[in-house]
Structure 1
Amino acid sequence: MARDQLGVLDTLDAAKTQWYHFTAIVIAGMGFFTDAYDLFSISLVTKLLGRIYYHVDGAEKPGTLPPNVAAAVNGVAFCGTLAGQLFFGWLGDKLGRKHVYGITLMLMVVCSIASGFSFGHSAKGVMASLCFFRFWLGFGIGGDYPLSATIMSEYANKKTRGAFIAAVFAMQGFGILAGGIVALIVSSAFDHAFKAPPYSVDPIASTPSQTDYIWRIILMFGAVPAILTYYWRMKMPETARYTALVARNARQAAEDMSKLLQVNLLPEEDKVEIYRGNASNSFGLVSKEFARRHGLHLIGTATTWFLLDIAYYSSNLFQKDIFSAIGWIPSAETMSAIQEVYLIARAQTLIALCGTVPGYWFTVLFIDCLGRFTIQLMGFFFMTVFMFALAIPYHYWTQKSHRIGFLVMYSLTFFFANFGPNATTFVVPAEIFPARLRSTCHGISAAAGKAGAIVGAFGFLYAAQSKDPAKTDAGYPPGIGVKNSLIVLGVINFFGILFTLLVPESKGKSLEELTGENDEEGGEAEQAPEASYS
């Protein structure tokens, strides 16, 4: 049986779309813009790092990062992100969403700048300091996931809540796009100023000393959007759901939302006391009651995010290797280091523009119409189809006349990742768990996703290596090749379809209706209203 909802929460659920909704989307979304820029910009410069710091005089080919170094540079930020998601997710439920929201942003600003100042007397020293700063950068990024999702879900009305949360996450697409554009601008400027010949013509001159500034500038630019957002993030009031249901301060919740919505709201302290006395609103994360109510939900959100991120981050971080394998990016010795950065950035920008960004915004448009479950199931299905379509006739796609077809198919996998599970896995955990555990459970689900990203970053790096003996002799372990790696990713997406069946549909329902926080259960809960009103 459900009791009367708090007036302030009813007002939020029924509120028409207003200016503060868009303000919240931009403030929370700029954090995700920065997150995506910082996480994916490293893939634009890893080949450049190899040329600068691992070049061997007299070598026939430009220097490349050793496999263990490449794995560390690509994956260390994900390790930090995983830790940050768990820590800040828990802290967001203990101290409040707003209280820790600024800390994550400042960590991102400081560590973005520090990454560009990575120092050392040797290549190992520079890579070690870069990995150190990127770990803490990831730690700050990790906190943004549960906090931004929870804040947006608790601010939104129930009719368009999915679109608002998805719009926050969709800013990630613009962050990926911005990374490519910044790399294009910086590399073009340096190429114009320091025209370098191809490696085959002059190995030394092909990587002029000034190229060391390119990767530093690209990584440091990630601090700019975070700095611009900090003031407005600190001006946001705490969410009414946290203030009323967790902090139990009905008066403050009513005052904050009265200003925000420009209406007069009563504190309703008696109803907050009823919530406090309800036994169904007191169980903890590690309890039989949580396992009974939400155990399968948490398994579903965590597992689908884990599987999705293996496929998604593998594909995103190693686009440059796939493009090289099919010959869309020329071999490294035919161009200078600056030209290589430009071509990698151009390729990734094209993929982001054609597949990644449109996919995110299709989710924003249709999530409250089709529902989360349908979009997630559809996305995993088409990702599976397109991965197999790329992998099975892989040698057909490597022919020069068929490369455009490969790029179209590859773009479609990103489109259906983002018009699918990459968005919905972020949205659903912010809706289906109780307010006092919402940030924590979203952090756990997101951390499972980043565990998948780590598997993708480290595992795919080795798995996708060619079986070429020359590469094995150079320090690369024998891999299964790009074709078989794509088949593995297709199988992973198929399992995503199966685990989606554990995730409930949350379309059109209030958060309290979804979580059962508004239900009267047990004798104690039913007696509480009578005692309160007597």
Structure 2
Amino acid sequence: MSPPHTHGGNGAFHNYEADYAHIADPNERRRLALADIDSAPFGWYHVRACVVAGVGFFTDAYDLFAINMISGMLGLVYWQTAKLNPGAIPSSSDTALKVATSSGTVIGQLAFGALADIFGRKKMYGIELMVIIVATLAQSLPSDSESMHIVGVCYYKMWRIVVGFGAVPGCIALYYRLTIPETPRYTFDVARDMVRGTADARAYMSGQSQGQVDGLLHVQTLQQDAARIETPKASFKDFKNYYSKWKNAKILIGTAGSWFFLDIAFCGLALNNSVILTAIGYSGGSSVYKVLYNNAVGNLIIVCSGTVPGYWFTVALCDTVGRKPIQIMGFVILTILFTVLGFAYHQLSSHAIFAIIVLAQFFIQFGPNTTTFIVPGECFPTRYRSTSHGISAAAGKVGSILAQAVFGPLRTHGAPKSCSGAACSPWLNHVIQVFALLMVLGLLTTFLIPETARRSLEELSGEEECVRAAPMSQPETEGKKENEPEEGAKEVTTGSRAVNI
């Protein structure tokens, strides 16, 4: 028996546009396709999307945080013969290196965020990963130094391996990114291609790289749909008009502001690392290897004690408790912890400081550090979602730059040149007190954002209201009474209205 045929496809190569081809209204086709995505049961396509996004986050985080370990190695390689503190990178060079890393991130978030709204998520994510891979490999190859000292020979290669390894997850993410279709919502609302968007939505759920569409029917449908699509068209004028309304602008202020205030304190917590490592017995060492080993293992203990559990608590509860309550709770508890740590710093033992820092790391992750990533990806309209997320993320990185360039030097204000240990950070308690104030400001900005859990992206962004506000176009059917369904039609309810198909 031959396989059943669809228009432009067959049982083996399904033509997904035919699933909704009998529905004349392009906006209703869009609603039905998005309803299929939102109501789809958990499957491999969800796992694959998580892998693609997760590996991308891994690549980004690896490149950003590996610099803390690499800076110590660079001191051993390039400053072995320094007159002051040989083998240690000067604080000015260390700060410049970290600020340059964060500054590049800010530029990338703003630029690629806007470009992804213009050219598409799939295309720009692929290009971005290629840039990361090439740049990561390139920064692991510079030479012309005094690193041929016997110590330098060992760590000359080690820091390059640490940097170069960051290209590996990027290659993995690039492969997966090229094997999944463009996000259907972008194709629907920005490319304004209902046929391709419908096909890609169904192809995504069946594990195909893109949907199969009939070329001639595709062109004809695009021409017919052009004047009937009700979602607003992206433009710079529309962007200004959208954010000129307080109800929209306040959300961007809320997402960017809370991310900004959080990242100052989040990056500033690293200023306590030397105290924490001493408290848990992983500070210093009898050899260069032992120093680097203790530093790596000690930081791993800190991360596993607070950061990792905090993330998993958020994963477990963010859909039931909600994003906004978790973010509010996190800022409140962080305010309390930083207040105690800042005003009682010199009265606390090293073990007490360690306990407070671990709690702070836990509630940073089971709190605003996770939700500030999630909410901007949900509360903005598709046509400006990537740009707005980029603005919010860039605000956070500006906060980390301030932590490194302002609060880092402020921490050492008044320290003697021959100091060691805690004596090198005489103003650390005052810096932590400022962090407590910043958490209060982060809490206030949180009240500007909406709760996004258990709500559709269209409802959150107001796109659903825009479509409902416009009148639905009904094709004329000769010989049929108004609102009378065709013979053999069935009624499907989507959202708040029923449609005959």
Shorter-chain TM range is 0.7 to 0.9
Identify which of 25, 33, 52 aligns with 1:27.
52
Distance 2:224 2:373 in 1: 31
Corresponding residue number in structure 1 for 2:158: 214
Q: What is the correspondence of 1:92-103 to structure 2 with a 5 Å cutoff?
A: 92-103=116-127
Match of 2:342 in 1: 391
Aligned-partner SS, 1:102: helix
Question: CA-to-partner distance for each residue in 1:93-130, whole Å, 9 max, x for gaps?
Answer: 1011101111111222222222221223479xx9xxxx
Which amino acid is 2:198 matched to? A
Distance 1:270 1:304, change over 3 A: farther
Q: Which residue, 181, 185, 188 being the options, matches 1:241?
A: 185
Deviation at 1:379, TM superposition (A): 0.9
Partner of 2:396: 449
Q: Does 1:375 align with 2:375?
A: no
Higher-helix-fraction structure: 1
In structure 2, relative to structure 1, the CA distance for the partners of 1:515 and 1:280 (3 Å cut) is farther
**Match in the other structure for 1:311:** 265
The yes-or-no answer on 1:503 pairing with 2:456 is: no
Residue 423 of structure 1 is matched in structure 2 by: 370
Deviations 1:170-214 (A, max 9, x none): xxxxxxxxxxxxxxxxxxxxxxxxxxxxxxxxxx98x46322222
Quote how far apart the aligned CAs of 1:529 are: 2.3
* 2:276 aligned partner: 323
Shift of 1:533: 6.7
Query: Which whole-Å CA distance do the structure 1 matches of 2:418 and 2:278 have between them?
Result: 14
Which segment drifts farther, 483-492 or 258-267? Answer: 258-267
**1:480 Cα deviation from its structure 2 partner:** 5.4
Between 403-412 and 29-38, report the one with greater CA deviation: 403-412
The one-letter code matched in structure 1 to 2:446 is T
* Deviation of 1:499 (Å): 1.1
Question: Could you say which structure has the larger radius of gyration?
Answer: 2
Q: Is there any run of 5+ residues in structure 1 with no aligned partner, and where?
A: 127-203
Residue 472 of structure 2 aligns with an amino acid whose one-letter code is P
1:409 aligns with 2:356: yes
- Of structures 1 and 2, the one with the larger relative CO (CA 8 A, separation 6+) is 1
Equivalent residue for 1:343?
Answer: 294
CA gap of 1:506–1:42, structure 2 versus 1, over 3 A, is: same
Deviation at 1:351, TM superposition (A): 1.1
- Indicate whether 1:47 and 2:72 are aligned: yes
Question: What is the count of residue pairs matched by the alignment?
Answer: 437
TM-score by length of 1: 0.74
Query: Could you tell me how far 1:25 is from its partner in structure 2?
Result: 0.3
Distance 1:270 1:377, change over 3 A: farther
Are 2:114 and 1:90 equivalent residues in the alignment? yes
> Structure 1's 430 and 221: CA in aligned 2 closer, same or farther, altered over 3 A?
same
1:434 aligned partner: 381
Tell me how far apart the structure 1 counterparts of residues 362 and 56 of structure 2 sit (CA, whole Å).
22
Aligned mates of 1:441, 1:382 — CA distance in 2: 28
| Cα distance in 1, alignment partners of residues 318 and 476 from structure 2 | 41
Q: Sequence identity of aligned pairs in percent?
A: 35
> How do 1:281-300 and structure 2 match up within 5 A?
284-287=238-241, 290-300=244-254
Report whether the alignment pairs 1:353 with 2:304. Answer: yes
TM-score, structure 2 normalization: 0.79
Alignment of 1:224-263 (within 5 A): 224-262=168-206
What is the deviation of 1:449?
Answer: 0.8
Q: Describe how 1:121-136 pairs up with structure 2 within 5 A.
A: 121=145
Distance change >3 Å, CA 58–CA 237, structure 1 → 2: closer
- Deviation track 1:316-352 (CA, whole Å, cap 9, x = no partner) reads 4x45444367685445xx5322221111111110111
The 1-side partners of 2:278 and 2:260 are apart by 27
Q: Match of 1:470? A: 417
8 Å contact 1:384–1:490 — kept in the other structure?
A: yes
Could you list the per-position Cα deviations for residues 485-534 of structure 1 after superposition, in whole angstroms to 9, with x for gaps in the alignment?
Answer: 22121221121111111111111111111111122489xx53x4247779
Give the drift of 1:451. 0.6
Deviations 1:213-237 (A, max 9, x none): 2222211111122122221111110
Change (3 A) 1:330 1:321: closer
**Does residue 67 of structure 1 match 2:88?**
no
Matched residues in 1 for 2:467 and 2:183: separation?
26
CA distance in 1, matches of 2:71, 2:334: 27
User: 1:276 maps to which residue?
Assistant: 229
Single out whichever of 81-90 and 255-264 deviates more from structure 2. Answer: 255-264
C-alpha distance in 2 between matches for 1:69 and 1:58: 15
Change (3 A) 1:6 1:324: closer
1: CA distance, partners of 2:451 / 2:61: 27
Match in the other structure for 2:472: 529
Greater CA drift, 334-343 or 355-364: 334-343
